[in-house]
Amino acid sequence: MNKTKATTLTVVETLTEEQLIMLKELEQEAFGANGGIDEWVLVPLARHGCIVLYHEEGDAKPVGVCELMRDFRHPDKAYVYGYYIRADKKGLGYGFAFLNRLLEQLQNDGFRKVCLTVGPDNVGAVALYQKAGFEIAETRFAEYGSGYDRYYMEKTL
């Protein structure tokens, strides 16, 4: 990662049409047809959940995106619905830097726990989350249907 460029976290509360198109494209790039979300989820998530963009100075597109929900059963727990780094920025340290900034912000906002699910075959993401202190709490078989097993991971802040 280029250490000379400043990075910022931005919470998006509403989406412009340009942002919506861009986020849909980034979703497809990150998760493909089976995992990417569209405007029918992005708009309410921005308005009633939380979408965090990770920007690098001088880059119009976010380097990373995180979509968060609050757990209604445990209001001090945040659920990472989606987390990704733009394809052309992967492997440069942005994933870990963004995740650390995000976890600091969640702790400052009063959250005590963060959880997420990730495919067991997504070795890079599992390693990133473990490096950040997440632990695999369980394996959820067929979480999104047959063939879509997930690790459920948690981290106490």
- What pLDDT does 2 receive? 55
pLDDT tens-digit profile of 25-75? 999 999 987 788 888 999 999 999 999 999 999 999 999 999 999 999 999
Indicate the pTM of the whole model: 0.93
155 found inside a domain: no
Number of independent structural domains in the chain:
1
Which residues are CB-neighbours of 156 under 8 A, at least 6 positions away? 112, 113
98 found inside a domain: yes
- What pLDDT does 32 receive? 87
Confidence of residue 15 (pLDDT cuts 50, 70, 90): very high
71 found inside a domain: yes
78 found inside a domain: yes
Which residues are CB-neighbours of 56 under 8 A, at least 6 positions away? 2, 5, 6, 7, 63, 94
- What pLDDT does 3 receive? 60
- What pLDDT does 33 receive? 78
DSSP letter for 141, please: T
Mean pLDDT over each residue of the chain, to the nearest integer = 94
Scanning the structure block, which residue is given the tokens 């906002």?
109
CATH number at residue 85: 3.40.630.30
131 found inside a domain: no
Residue 61 CB neighbour total at 10 angstroms: 15
- Find the domain containing 77 and state its range: 7-116
SS (H, E, C) 61-126: CCCEEEEEEECCCCCCEEEEEEEEECHHHCCCCHHHHHHHHHHHHHHHCCCCEEEEEECCCCHHHH
pLDDT tens-digit profile of 108-147? 999 999 999 999 999 999 999 999 999 999 999 999 999 9
What is the C-alpha to C-alpha distance for residues 130 and 82, in angstroms, rounded to an integer? 16
36 found inside a domain: yes
Residue 1 confidence (pLDDT) above 70: no
143 found inside a domain: no
37 found inside a domain: yes
